Structure 1
């Protein structure tokens, strides 16, 4: 059974909903509690970025398969202002909102694969994958 779900991020409660949905799907796929927490934390960071910077967007979570692996793919999509300097945004400690600056670099560390595409004035898409360890 393929699992794919999206949560629109408009309010702070949507961040909680996306995080819980990610944890639930990860559990269904067989991820252990530590990886469930990593996935939920990454989702929370991406959803918070949508809420803070773009005001609206979506977190989409889906089960993925290769010949020998199962994973969870989490995508964050918004039509916000975009990121002017991705390299700087990926530096530990950088924050444009006065926070700790752990967001995007933290997401990259929590997940196995990380890709970001952003265009100023058009929005940002972040795609991450966590593979199930055997």
Structure 2
């Protein structure tokens, strides 16, 4: 699935020394840590408070999904410099994958007994959301928020 909302270009640069951070997500503490990293990067890149909260919420949902559905995985947080500055979240796991992506993106649908708001919420909160999943081989979610 792909969702891309047009936004006006915003010249910005994440700043010297700001690089991608890749974090292993294996515990609830890791979920909290990735949220802190995302908020700090968003603040450094002068994202609005609302956008920073959207980014942190999306990161929390992705990291929680890594834990619940795959037993853990990797979440990368990367600044996207240039004329259209942004932050990219890349979540990858080697879990069971998603059998029915359309159904998984439906509000209220959950295979783990939760509220079923995770992936649909990420798709709404972010400007771009690409999900690749192969049942039995894992899932990769790339989500971007432009400044």
Under a length normalisation based on structure 1, what TM-score does the superposition of the two structures give? 0.94
Of structures 1 and 2, the one scoring higher in RCO (CA 8 A, sep 6+) is: 2
Is 1:83 paired with 2:135?
A: no
Aligned with 2:109 (options 66, 88, 94):
94
CA drift at 1:65: 2.9
Task: Verify the 8 A CA contact 1:114 1:128 in the aligned structure 2.
Answer: yes
C-alpha distance in 1 between matches for 2:113 and 2:135: 21
Aligned with 1:111 (options 126, 130, 145):
126
Is 1:125 paired with 2:140?
A: yes
Runs (4 or more) in structure 1 with deviation over 3 Å come to none
C-alpha distance in 1 between matches for 2:93 and 2:33: 17
SS in 2 for 1:35: helix
CA drift at 1:8: 0.3
C-alpha distance in 2 between matches for 1:63 and 1:29: 8
SS in 2 for 1:117: strand
- Residue 4 of structure 2 is matched in structure 1 by none
Aligned with 2:81 (options 54, 61, 65):
65
Aligned with 1:48 (options 64, 73, 77):
64
C-alpha distance in 2 between matches for 1:28 and 1:125: 26
Under a length normalisation based on structure 2, what TM-score does the superposition of the two structures give? 0.86
Number of equivalences: 131
CA drift at 1:121: 1.2
C-alpha distance in 2 between matches for 1:111 and 1:127: 10
SS in 1 for 2:121: helix
C-alpha distance in 1 between matches for 2:26 and 2:81: 30
CA drift at 1:126: 0.1
The structure whose residues are more often helix, as a share, is: 1
C-alpha distance in 2 between matches for 1:65 and 1:16: 25
